Amino acid sequence: MQKNTTLSKISGTGIIILVLLTGLFMLPRNISAQGKTDFSGTWTLNKSKSKAQEGRFRMGTPTLTVTQKGNEMKVDRIMRGRNDQERTFTNTYSLDGKETTREAFRGTTKAVASWSNDGKSLTITTTRTMERSGQAMEMKTTEVWTLTEGGKSLTITSTSSTPRGEMKVTLVYDKK
């Protein structure tokens, strides 16, 4: 009888080890299958779907080109300036939670990008410190990026705190 008891203990222990090993081998597949959203592509502003606070609408960038590789996302904001000249403003974000800093014309821009728990949306928090007429000024912006309509649209919900108050804008871009 003791042999059966010992065999039962070994069999029970063996089953537990087998289950644990199976779980360990499957874990990396589950983690990699739960990837982050890729926002790469060229996007054009859809003015009819975009929204802003009454009387405070400042049109978003007409075209965005997003290149996302590994833990980096580069965003080219392409707009037309005076005399219809095309101008491109480039921001590069670290997608692993590290702060990125960029010197700008009148000051410094610091940004931190963080993923939602499900990896479907990206929040970019930006702080711009600048000088205007000899006075230091700070502007904070939080953008939440999500893909909608099966990846055919990019929605950026932006909330900015400025010395003039808070401004909320929802910009919707269609993929080219």
Spatial distance between the Cα atoms of 114 and 132, rounded to a whole number of angstroms: 30
Tell me, yes or no, whether 102 and 160 share the same domain: yes
pLDDT at 2 over 60: no
Tell me, yes or no, whether 20 and 69 share the same domain: no
Tell me, yes or no, whether 61 and 138 share the same domain: yes
CB 63 within 8 A of CB 80: no
CA neighbor of 113 nearest in space, from 131, 92, 134: 92
Select the highest-mean-pLDDT range: 70-74, 104-108, 163-167.
70-74
- pLDDT band with cut points at 50, 70 and 90 for residue 20: very low
Q: Note the pLDDT of residue 19.
A: 36
Per the structure, the count of domains in the chain is 2
CB 43 within 8 A of CB 176: yes
What is the per-residue pLDDT across 138-148, written as a single tens digit (0 to 9) for each? 899 999 999 99
Least confident of 25-29, 35-39, 55-59, 170-174: 25-29
Tell me, yes or no, whether 10 and 46 share the same domain: no
Q: Note the pLDDT of residue 135.
A: 84
Boundaries of domain holding 57: 41-175
Tell me, yes or no, whether 92 and 119 share the same domain: yes
Residue 109, domain CATH: 2.40.128.20
Tell me, yes or no, whether 80 and 158 share the same domain: yes
One-letter amino acid of 84: D
Tell me, yes or no, whether 1 and 72 share the same domain: no
Tell me, yes or no, whether 8 and 53 share the same domain: no
Tell me, yes or no, whether 25 and 75 share the same domain: no
For 83-131, the DSSP string reads GG-EEEEEEEEETTS--EEEEETTEEEEEEEEE-TTSSEEEEEEEEEEE
Q: Note the pLDDT of residue 162.
A: 76
Residues 6+ apart with CB under 8 A from 37: 119, 120, 121, 122, 145, 146, 147
- pLDDT band with cut points at 50, 70 and 90 for residue 170: very high
Tell me, yes or no, whether 14 and 98 share the same domain: no
